Amino acid sequence: MSKHLKIALVDDDIPNTEILRDFLIRNGYSHVDKYHDGESFLESIDRFDERAVVLDFDLSGGGELNGLEVLEALKERSPQTHVIFYSGQDSLEVAVESLKNGADDYIVKSNAAFALVKTSLDKVYDLQVLRLSEKRNQRISWALALGWLITLVGVAIFVAN
């Protein structure tokens, strides 16, 4: 089943990004973009960006910005974007900083990392499905309330006449 969640992978590690992309596509995520530096990724976002972002910390092989700087700029422009920080740094300091700056998860690159990224994205996807369902239910509730109101007004007019 195809999961309608747009994903951006931001990592200067070209082979691993390509393999992670193929892994996610194989697991049902059909829309996966990749960027090898923070600058080109930031150029691609807008205020209504709905993508989940898998963001590496050390982007020195691609551009000037590191992952924390990209995270900060991203959250200013698009606060609702879900960010999974994905780093080769097993550093408590970086983990705390990323979570303080709005990352939803912090995953250290390891043999299990691809599966952990997928699990984290599954949670984002489930949350998105839940939010859409809540919005739909809200619309139905409003439509029902409006229907009742129109009926009541109609009855009141009928009685008054």
Which structure tokens are listed for 16?
Answer: 């691993």
Binding mask 50-79 for other proteins (x = CB under 8 A): --------x-xx------------------
45, 81 in Cβ contact below 8 A?
yes
Q: In the bound complex, what is the minimum distance in angstroms from residue 90's beta carbon to other proteins? A: 9
Rounded Cα gap, residues 71 and 75, in angstroms: 6
Q: Which of 1, 2, 15, 47 binds other proteins (CB under 8 A)?
A: 15
d(CA 41, CA 70): 9
93 binds other proteins (CB under 8 A): no
Calculate the CA dihedral of residues 114, 119, 123, 126 and round it to 10 degrees. Answer: 100
Residues 126-145 that bind other proteins (CB under 8 A): none
List the one residue from 19, 96, 150, 156 that touches other proteins (CB under 8 A).
Answer: 19
- In sequence order, the β-bridge partners of residue 9 are 34, 54
Q: Which residues bind other proteins (CB under 8 A)?
A: 12-16, 18-19, 22-23, 26, 58, 60-61, 88, 109-111, 114
